[in-house]
Amino acid sequence: MENIKRNEEGYLNDFSQWTKEVGNEIAKEQEIEMSDLHWQVIDYLQGKYKGEEALSIRGIKKSGVINIKEFYDLFPGGPLKKSTMIAGIPKPKSCI
């Protein structure tokens, strides 16, 4: 974890440094215990990032991976902010 470069908010500077272990460590900091469904969401988010598609809560609703209620339950207190940090991708800039 020492070699992983992160910005002041805790997001990875470089996605190529991400591994599942790194994701797990960040999740621990956020007091989130990762389940299969958590990882499916992370996988979805990373797929969107690689496809250069913007993330939004509406996108989560349409994702087919998870519904919005579950999303809030899995990543309590700012779900998109926390999940993107665990996924090693930048914090979304969208207002929705």
DSSP-assigned letters across all residues of the chain: -TT--B-TTS-BS-GGG--HHHHHHHHHHTT----HHHHHHHHHHHHHHHTTPPP-HHHHHHSSS--HHHHHHHS-SSHHHHHHHHHTSPPP----
77 touches another protein by CB under 8 A: yes
Least distance from another protein to the Cβ atom of residue 76, Å: 8
Single out the segment in contact with another protein by CB under 8 A; choices: 13-21, 34-42, 43-51, 64-72: 64-72
20 touches another protein by CB under 8 A: no
95 is catalytic: yes
Among 1, 2, 16, 69, contact with another protein (rule: CB under 8 A): 69
58 touches another protein by CB under 8 A: yes
Single out the segment in contact with another protein by CB under 8 A; choices: 19-27, 39-47, 78-86: 78-86
Q: Which residues carry out catalysis? A: 95
